[in-house]
């Protein structure tokens, strides 16, 4: 598995797993500069079901959400890295600022976000729960973030 797929391909894959009664877990993010916190989070997400699909924010989406200087790594590189992490089965890139439309198309069995999100604020929660799925949060094990890594680099090598 471990592949980057278009929306149409990922929808067909989702349907196949639904027929096979496999639990599909979905999460999303920018994943700009992969760190141990990302890998831990994705491992825990994968353990909640049979298949993990990751929705990856496009470059334009990251720029709108994080600012003009982001992303550090372009979407093709981020998608390649994420898709080759052991816990991840599939990656699909979305252009919008939130994965709401993507979640509505896939309707995963389990929708996962970090514990920094209140369940009631998780985009797609309503669709997943209305279709009998679950929404879960995962506690972060370290206080790492891409922004902190960037700040650390700038502190060490000059702003």
pLDDT tens per residue, range 83-92: 999 999 999 9
pTM above threshold 0.85: yes
Q: What is the mean pLDDT of residues 68-72?
A: 93
Least confident of 60-64, 71-75, 151-155: 151-155
CA–CA–CA angle 140, 5, 74 (5° rounding): 65
How far apart are alpha carbons 31 and 40 in whole angstroms? 13
Residue 159: count other Cβ atoms within 10 Å of its Cβ: 6
Q: Dihedrals φ, ψ of 56, to 5°?
A: -110, 125
Quick one: pLDDT at residue 141? 73
Number of domains in the chain: 1
Q: What is the pLDDT of residues 116-155, one digit of tens each?
A: 899 999 999 999 999 999 999 998 776 667 778 788 888 8
Quick one: pLDDT at residue 33? 87
Structure tokens at 85: 């992490």
| Strand order through the sheet with 90-94 | 3-4, 90-94, 51-57, 24-29, 110-114, 134-138
Q: What is the CATH number of the domain that holds 68?
A: 3.40.50.620
How far apart are alpha carbons 137 and 140 in whole angstroms? 10
Quick one: pLDDT at residue 148? 80
Q: To the nearest 5 percent, what fractions of the chain are helix, strand and coil? A: 45, 20, 40
Q: What is the pLDDT of residues 17-59, one digit of tens each?
A: 999 999 999 999 999 988 888 999 999 999 999 999 999 999 9
Quick one: pLDDT at residue 149? 79
Quick one: pLDDT at residue 151? 82
Where do we find the tokens 């797929």?
Answer: 5
Q: What is the DSSP letter of 1?
A: -
Range of the domain at 58: 3-157
């Amino acid at each position: 598995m471990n592949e980057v797929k278009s929306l149409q391909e990922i929808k067909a894959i989702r349907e196949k797993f639904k027929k096979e009664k496999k639990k599909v877990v979905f999460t999303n993010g920018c994943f700009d500069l992969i760190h141990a916190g990302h890998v831990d989070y994705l491992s825990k997400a994968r353990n909640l079901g049979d298949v993990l699909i990751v929705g990856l924010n496009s470059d334009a989406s990251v720029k709108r959400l994080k600012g003009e200087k982001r992303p550090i790594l372009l979407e093709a590189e981020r998608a390649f890295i994420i898709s080759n992490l052991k816990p991840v089965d599939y990656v699909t890139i979305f252009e919008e600022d939130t994965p709401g439309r993507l979640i509505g198309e896939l309707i995963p069995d389990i929708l996962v976000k970090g514990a920094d999100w209140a369940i009631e604020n998780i985009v797609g929660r309503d669709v997943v729960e209305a279709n009998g799925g679950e929404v879960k949060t995962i506690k972060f094990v370290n206080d790492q973030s891409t922004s902190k890594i960037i700040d650390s680099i700038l502190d060490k090598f000059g702003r």
